[in-house]
Amino acid sequence: MERSSFWEATSAAPEYPALKEDTAFDAVVVGAGFTGITAALLLAESGAKVAVVEADRIGSGTSGRSTVKVTCQHTLKLHTLGDEKARAYYAANKSGFDFVCGLVERNGIGCDFERLPAYVYARGDECLPDIEKEAEFYSKLGIDGGVTEKTGLPFGVKCALVMRDQAQFHPLKYLYALARRFTACGGSIFERTKAQRFERGADCAVITKNATLRSRDVIFATNYPMTDFPGLFFLKLHQEREYAICAKADGLDIGGMYISAQKPANSMRMYRSGDENRLILVGYGHRTAKEDDDFSGYDRLKELLRRDFKTADPDPDYAWSAQDCRTLDGIPYVGPVYAEPPGVYVAAGYEKWGVTNSAAAAMMISDAIAGTGHIDRHIRKAFDPLRFTPAASAKNFLIHTGNVAGAFTAGNILIPEGSYGDIKPGEGAVMRVGAKAQAVYRDTDGEIHAFEAHCTHMRCPLEYNAAEKSFDCPCHGSRFGTDGEVLNGPANEPLCRITERPER
């Protein structure tokens, strides 16, 4: 089983240069995923001079590692938001849905686009009341769907909630087409150009290793915002990881896209292209650094595959994971974080529903910068990144801050004593070597790599993730590779390497 994204393996990535010299633009977008490229395209089409900077390759983050359901059905969410916020959330995502589908269909983008119904299904009785409540909101909002007992799943369900006329596609084929459209409008994309610092003065400066970009506006489309202030995102966001496997499934057709109502949620869809027919299973998400090392999400998905989809290949050939943020009240943080120019904009907290949310976020930011008028300002208000809604957020705020405080305190106290000799090739650990807490990995050649064992974001103690060979932060979800480099933010600086020659 190859530990890589099926989407990356089945698409030809374009090449863009690294930034080499200081340049000025009207707007700079940090992050080349769905949100960043879509926002850049909308601004370029309005006449702005726009640059996108990406630390790795275009689509290499969550956008190229998701399930890629183009749907406004985000589990059983609407009834939990209340009438006003549910209307705003659905309206924004319906605008995002219409934008994506319209762009694909009008321009004939070859991304294996397919219209299909989406379902939330329940195998037991415990979720039936929530399904009924959600169905009531479908009626209130005029959504084409409702409760049904019929699905295309190869196992029985108690009932399901269907939303008709949704869609799915190949994410990177779509994203690469948007990027080509953006550069055709005069836009610039710089890959392998990591934004190291950000400064806001008379204008905005995005500082990279080789050069600085200056602009009137900056958009952080980086999953977790690069700036914590003034939005206080370290108090309002947490990150979760989720796992995916892809298996050959000749002859299988489940007739739609699905997610379970029960927790932990499992999501499934087919992928068809030419003679290729595959099943993609996603699920067993958890707060970053809180995984079960004894039985990983990959193992659980393989068990689900073999139990419930007996006509599919029992041995998946691709496996990957992705990371996304959750907000306190279930609505993403999208928009400006300063009232006065120069403008700084964020988009975060999609809760793993990034296709429609990213398009909606890009439209809202383009509206704020260029007055493009895609989404009504009353709807945009519900996504205000500076909001704090005590009635909806207080419980989750206390849980989040309690988790952070607990991880910080207990994590420091409970780091075990150890030595480099305890670590076998291909293994890692966080331990105290002498008086110093260290994140240690021994590579397959037997060489030890040791780093300070605290996240460079806010100094939270790290934990070793054996399933993915990374050092993860349980406070805010930063992740570091075994070479100490940042895999996921909010951390922006690599781990500090311990230079003393380690014992072998």
3 contacts: CB under 8 Å, gap ≥ 6: 319, 320
Residue 461 DSSP class = B
Q: How far apart are CA 224 and CA 332, in angstroms?
A: 11
Give the pLDDT of residue 504. Answer: 43
**The pLDDT of residue 404 is above 60:** no
pLDDT at 398 over 70: no
Per-residue model confidence (pLDDT) at position 227:
83
Q: Is the pLDDT of residue 393 over 60?
A: no
| Overall average pLDDT of the 240-245 stretch | 92
Structural domain boundaries in the chain? 23-64+173-230+330-386, 389-504
Residues 6+ apart with CB under 8 A from 45: 185
Report CA dihedral (323, 328, 329, 332) to the nearest 10 degrees: -40
pLDDT for 403 equals 56
Residue 355 has pLDDT above 90, yes or no: yes
Query: Residue 231 to residues 117, 336, 339: CA-CA distances in angstroms?
Result: 37, 10, 12
Going by C-alpha positions, the residue among 216, 222, 226, 220 that lies closest to residue 370 is 216
Closest by Cα among 250, 247, 245, 235 to 267? 245
Options 3.40.50.970, 3.50.50.60, 3.30.70.270, 3.40.710.10; which CATH number does 23-64+173-230+330-386 get?
Answer: 3.50.50.60
Tokens linked to 357: 């949310």
Contact 177, 189 (CB under 8 A): no
Average pLDDT, integer, range 352-381: 94
Angle at Cα 136 formed by Cα 132 and Cα 139, nearest 5°?
140
For helices 354-370 and 83-107, angle between their N-to-C axes, nearest 10 degrees:
90
Question: What's the whole-number average pLDDT of the chain?
Answer: 90
Give the DSSP per-residue string, 168-227: E--HHHHHHHHHHHHHHTT-EEE-S--EEEEEESSSEEEEESS-EEEEEEEEE-SSS-S-
Show Cβ contacts of residue 362 under 8 Å, excluding neighbours closer than 6 positions.
34, 35, 38, 39, 41, 42, 347
CATH of span 389-504: 2.102.10.10
Burial 27-48 (b: 16+ CB within 10 A, else e): bbbbbbbbbbbbbbbbbbbeeb
pLDDT tens digits, residue range 31-74? 999 999 999 999 999 999 999 999 999 999 999 998 899 999 99
Q: What average pLDDT does the segment 165-178 reach?
A: 97
Length of the chain measured in residues: 504
Residue among 442, 452, 435 at smallest CA distance from 494: 452
Q: Tell the burial category of 194 from Cβ atoms under 10 Å away from its Cβ (0-12, 13-18, 19+).
A: middle
- String of DSSP letters for 340-355: SSSEEEEEE--TT-HH
* The token pair that represents 497 in the structure block: 């390497």
Backbone angles phi and psi of 87, in degrees to 5 = -65, -45
Residue 392 has pLDDT above 90, yes or no: no
Residues 230 and 469: their CA atoms lie apart, in Å, by: 34
- Percent of the residues in the chain that have a pLDDT greater than 90, as a whole number: 72
Mean pLDDT confidence for 480-486:
93
Bridge-based pairing of strands 343-348 and 212-220 is: parallel
Contact, 70 vs 166, CB < 8 A?
yes
Sign of the CA dihedral running 162, 163, 168, 171: negative
Give me the mean pLDDT over the 78-106 stretch.
Answer: 97
| pLDDT recorded at residue 412 | 60
